[in-house]
Amino acid sequence: MITQACKRHLGCDMSFKKKLIFSVLLVSTLSQAETHLEAKPSQCVTVREGNSCKATVILSWETDFQGRLCIVQNSQVTEPLYCWQDRLKGQWSWSFSSAEDNTMQIVQDGQSQVLAEAIVSVRWLYKKQSHRSGWRLF
């Protein structure tokens, strides 16, 4: 089928076919690679809702993907927090500070395809109280 389309529309040669097959194999390899990411602790607890929660989070990964991978926060692919080359497993210590849940993801360097993710959720002991005025008319 590729050959027929190639002949009809593109008039392509063997190098085009090799590039196309390589691209298909690369995408197939990325989607079949087993990658896991775990965050410990996975919850950060603060006193009041809306307050920033601070904790040291250990991100542990394991993958069978060979290449340059990065950890990004909340899909910010252009600002990786940590990258490594051809390491099948490892850990990275991260100083978490946020009032909201954060999604940590493993991506191939410069790409947006997520290979694995872990969520660090923020919880609180006391819900934010609505502000009441001390003045009453009656």
Residue 22 lies in a domain: yes
62 & 118 share domain: yes
Token pair recorded at residue 108:
């191939």
Alpha helices in the chain (DSSP H): 2-5, 14-32
Backbone angles phi, psi at 17, to 5 degrees: -60, -40
Report the pLDDT value the prediction gives residue 78, as an integer from 0 to 100: 87
14 & 75 share domain: no
74 & 19 share domain: no
pTM reported for the whole predicted model = 0.66
Token pair recorded at residue 13:
């040669």
Mean pLDDT of the chain: 80
**Contact (CB, 8 A) for 33 and 106:** no
Distance of alpha carbon 67 from the chain centroid: 16
Domain hosting 106: range is 34-126
47 & 113 share domain: yes
Number of domains in the chain: 2
41 CB contacts (<8 Å, ≥6 apart)? 55, 57, 120
76 & 115 share domain: yes
**pLDDT tens, position by position, 82-116:** 999 999 999 999 999 999 999 999 999 888 899 99
pLDDT more than 70, % of the chain: 70
In this model, does residue 1 exceed pLDDT 90? Answer: no
The conformational region for residue 31 under phi > 0 = left, psi -120 to 50 = alpha, else beta, is alpha
**Contact (CB, 8 A) for 6 and 12:** yes
